[in-house]
Structure 1
Amino acid sequence: MDQPEAIGRRAVKTEKLAFLASDTEEAQQALDQLSTRYGNVPPKEADVIVALGGDGLMLQTLHAYMGTGKPIYGMNRGSVGFLMNEYREDDLPERLQEADITPIHPLCMEVVDQAGYGHVARAINEVSMLRQTSQAARLKISVDDRVRLEELICDGVLVATPAGSTAYNLSAHGPILPISAQLLALTPISAFRPRRWRGALLPNHAKVDIEVLDPHKRPVSATADHTEIRHVAKVSIHEDSNVEGLMMFDSDHGWDERILTEMFRY
């Protein structure tokens, strides 16, 4: 059995910082202030990339620099910031040196649409499939080439990573996963039949195949984070262990603490 990847402190240079910001006034002000104070180099030259905004910007930045080996540290200047650290201007290089680094692997979504064309996209949070019309979707779900559900009638279904388990997955009543868990959450969205099916926890090496039954009458879209493919016929989802992104969290409020806080929220 594979061992969990190491999560913790690593030696990180902090001499060259690249700041990226969302378009909000709050984020742009932070960009000006931090760039003046610490300098701002192009991301390709940076030791650390600092993302200023919300979770959406963090996901975009992770996608853009996945596989480059550059750690990304987010500071919350947006409306949602579960993936972000608290915004503070002081002592930023020291915070970065003390931060914990969490390696993550994206999901790979392989789609065949109704016209027979193939599409590939990656997701850090989740791959979701949703009905496109007023009629519920009819889906057949297989795990590692074995059919597990002959027919799921629902609004949709999603496969979430631990990093994405607190996002759409949580809103759909899926389980929260610790970041080091070698698991994926398979979660139905408004399941009608079987009504009592609440989803499944899968090992992260599992391959999930979802076939759309009656795709012309009941069309379905598939989305990997921000990439949407419409009128899909079948989707295959697996973790891409060959690609790695690096997220940084303050050591006094790391991912495990955030997960525990969310679990006990009422």
Structure 2
Amino acid sequence: MSATLRRALLASPTPAAQEAERELREHYEWVSLHEAELVVALGGDGFLLQVLHQLLERRPNVPVFGMNLGTVGFLMNEWRLGGLDERLARAKPFKVSPLEMLTETISGEVRRLPAINEVSLLRETRQAAKIEVSVNDRVVMPELVCDGILAATPAGSTAYNLSANGPILPLGSAMLALTPISPFRPRRWRGAILPDRARISLRVLEAEKRPVSAVADQREVRDVARVQVEIDRMRDLTLMFDPEHALDDRITMEQFIA
């Protein structure tokens, strides 16, 4: 990618990211977000998700090059002050297709929200949730008794999904992970791997007695009755990586970490 693209700089509010932003602004030229052809994001994976959601709403075609000033930084490149022009010129693009979460609450309110990592349903009270699971309008599980369930993209499969003992999905696998959270019945069900063209429908049973919230990455809808999840192919995002970053290799190697 050409290093002459107009660039915007966004930073998380942490002291380390703010100091890095100050240094970068002294050494390079920047434009506002609405003028930018590329975004450089400073922070961790959580901040990168915030930036991607901001771009989804306003400018989904603008690629993002993240530099890690957070904790894990799985989706970020290494932080370095020098050589930014050369790094951006050599950076390799990776397309990310977000999920779309369509929810209907007990009161009948309907909302659509995007999710880059995962959509999760979580019980709101001490009582377990009861959820009917359908795939492509076919009921595949009449009643899942659990703390919740989530659908994760390959990019998000190493996040909450992995913590819930879900599978790691290689990038480009065209798959989604459907993973239960603390399943009680059926106790031995560990989830499913579905084609990314699947439409997942989740109906909350006894929704008023056993309230459930739905979360698209970091945005929550309370007291849902139904949730539908599928890939939104109209709004692909682009992440930029140093050639040596090898995100797909990192995801593969996560499967061998004890």
TM range (shorter): over 0.9
Please give the secondary structure, in 2, of the residue aligned with 1:62.
helix
Secondary structure in 2 matching 1:194: coil
Task: Give the match for residue 241 of structure 2.
Answer: 249
Instruction: For 1:226-265, list aligned pairs within 5 A.
Output: 226-265=218-257
Show the counterpart of 1:8.
Answer: none
Contact residue 48 and residue 71 of structure 1 kept, 8 A:
yes
Which consecutive residues of structure 2, in runs of 5 or more, have no partner in the other structure?
A: none
> What secondary structure is seen at the aligned counterpart in 2 of 1:197?
coil
In structure 1, the partner of 2:132 is 140
Contact kept in structure 1, 2:157 and 2:169, CA below 8 Å? yes
Q: Tell me which residue corresponds to 1:40.
A: 30
- Give the TM-score normalised by structure 1: 0.94
User: Would you say the 8 A contact 1:14–1:96 is kept in 2?
Assistant: no
RMSD (Å) for aligned C-alpha atoms: 1.1
**1:211-230 to 2 correspondences below 5 Å:** 211-230=203-222
Q: Please list every run of at least 4 consecutive aligned residues from structure 1 whose deviation after the TM superposition is greater than 6 angstroms.
A: none
* Equivalent runs, 1:49-198 vs 2, <5 Å: 49-66=39-56, 68-198=60-190
Alpha carbons 2:60, 2:235 under 8 Å: kept: no
Matches within 5 A, 1:2-41: 11-41=1-31
Counting aligned pairs with the same residue, the percent is 52
Q: Distance in 2 between matches of 1:213 and 1:64?
A: 34
Looking at structure 1, the residues matched to 254 and 88 of structure 2 have their Cα atoms a distance apart, in angstroms, of: 24
* 1:240 partner letter: D
Q: Secondary structure of the residue that 2:244 maps to in structure 1?
A: helix
The corresponding residue for 1:5 is none
Q: How many residue pairs were aligned? A: 256
C-alpha separation in 2, matches of 1:12 and 1:207: 38
Q: Distance in 2 between the 1:21 and 1:188 partners? A: 34
The CA distance in 2 between the partners of 1:254 and 1:98, in whole Å, is 13
Do structure 1's residue 210 and structure 2's residue 202 form an aligned pair?
yes
